[in-house]
Amino acid sequence: MRAIPSIIVLVMLAFSSLYTHAEEAVLNETITHGLDVDFKVPKNWYLYPRPRAIVLTRDGELLQSASISRFKYGKKLPNIDRALEKTALISELGELYMQSIENDPEVSRLEREAFEPVEHGSLPGFTLKYRFKVANGPWMRGRIFVLTGENYIYQVFYRGTERVYYERGEEGFESFLTSLDILKK
């Protein structure tokens, strides 16, 4: 019986640390977390830093989330055996990202909706919209926003369940992208 109060205290501490961190992110309004990026956390969204990425969500990571990360050229994307080269065309990078998603064992079907070259600040890149079926799960919609800098590739993923959560979070995601500033190119 003495263990039950201890477990309750541990659970309360764990949840309070998550809440404090999310509340802190909203109060500070801008975040860099070692990625050399600056942005505003959208209203009613929460921030969860990971070792090599920042994840934001409004309704929970499994329902809808956005993440930003960066890596140096020469890194292989998951599920494919080809590295991202600095000399690659924007359209080639888009195809590699599609292959990576298509080869994901959790994706049973994939449909491309749109591919568009973009420029954000002085950085070229692309945005790719797609929908996919999670194996034994719901249809999801996703968007990848990739920027190519001098030394790094910055990638922003947004995804959510097709019926409700993708559209519910789209406005917040757009405000996040608008506020995104790449500090180290």
Q: What percent of the chain has pLDDT over 70?
A: 82
57-89: pLDDT as tens digits: 999 998 999 999 998 999 988 899 888 999 999
- Residue at 131 is within a domain: yes
Q: For the chain, what is the domain count? A: 1
Residue 74 falls within a domain, yes or no?
A: yes
Whether residue 99 is contained in a domain is answered as yes
**Residue in 54, 72, 62, 73 with CA at minimum distance from that of residue 156:** 54
Burial (0-12, 13-18, 19+ Cβ within 10 Å), 112:
middle
Residues 140-170: tens digit of each pLDDT: 999 999 999 999 999 999 999 998 999 999 9
Strand partners, 97: none
In a domain, 16, yes or no: no
Q: Which domain holds residue 36?
A: 29-182
Closest to 66 in 3D by CA, of 14, 2, 139, 141:
141
Within-domain flag for 1: no
Whether 14 is in a domain gets the answer no
Whether 154 maps to a domain, the answer reads: yes
Instruction: CATH number of the domain at 74, please.
Output: 3.40.1000.10
> Is 25 a residue whose pLDDT tops 60?
no
Task: Please report whether residue 138 resides in a domain.
Answer: yes
